[in-house]
Every structure is written in C-alpha cells, then in structure tokens.
Amino acid sequence: MAPASGNYVTVISHNPETNKTQVKLPSGSKKVISSANRAVVGVVAGGGRIDKPILKAGRAYHKYKAKRNCWPRVQSVAMNPVEHPFGGGNHQHIGKPSTIQRDAPAGRKVGLNAARQTGRLCGTKTVQEKEN
C-alpha cells in the first residue's frame, strides 16, 4: 500500500464487529481494509533519497534509464521543424503565438492549449482583493 521509499501507512481505527480496519495512506486518503491483513511495522527504507542532489548528468542518465524514456528533455525551439511546430529558424525562438485553440488538429496542439490568459498577473492577490 505504501511501497515507495520513506512512506508509511497509519492505522486509524479497528472495528471488531465487522472485522475492518481504517488506515490513512501517504496521499492523505483513508481506506477500509480487512483486519485479517498482515503488514510490516515501520517505515520503508530509503527515506530522504530525493534530498541528495544528482549533480551529474551521468547519474540522471542511469536514474531515468531504469524508469522510462523521458531524459534528456529537449526544448521544442531547439528541434527541427519536422519534429515540432516551434522548431527551426535562424535563432531559437517560437516564431508564432504559443497559444493554440482547443479544436486545433493533432500535431499542432502544442504550447498553451486553450489558454484563457497568458503572461504575468498584474499585482498580487492582496492588491487584487483590495480593488474588488
């Protein structure tokens, strides 16, 4: 139920009549399981593993090699135009609006899909609340 490093599950309550136990998962959700289930007491080893910086590209390579093909991540403007709509050109720039309508065809729908607004918000939340 909590197999990742440093995780644990907390027992909240037991109900002897129905033979059910309520547990709290690392996500914060609660789950009801049978009281006949067995578990290991303690915290899964390897807690704090992500606190140590990777520092080298080689370590990142081996980390993602064991998982899936998602590293290295290439910028879209660094690609060729046949690989991405933002690719190509004589210097790295998008060259067109990064917002795209919702009914765009597949292959063109990259960037900010159906964006209501873009850019920085004017003022902080406290300034906006005072104006309203």
- Of 10-19, 93-102, 112-121, the poorest mean pLDDT is in 112-121
CA nearest to 80, candidates 96, 98, 97, 92: 92
**Rounded Cα–Cα distance for residues 89 and 80 (Å):** 9
Each residue of 23-52: pLDDT tens digit? 999 999 999 999 999 999 999 999 999 999
**Rounded Cα–Cα distance for residues 79 and 92 (Å):** 9
pLDDT at position 119: 87
Is the pLDDT score of 129 beyond 80? no
pLDDT at position 71: 96
Is the pLDDT score of 124 beyond 70? no
More confident residue, 132 or 119: 119
pLDDT band at residue 122 using 50, 70 and 90 as cut-offs: confident
Neighbours of 92 (CB within 10 A): 14
Is the pLDDT score of 120 beyond 90? no
pTM given for the model? 0.61
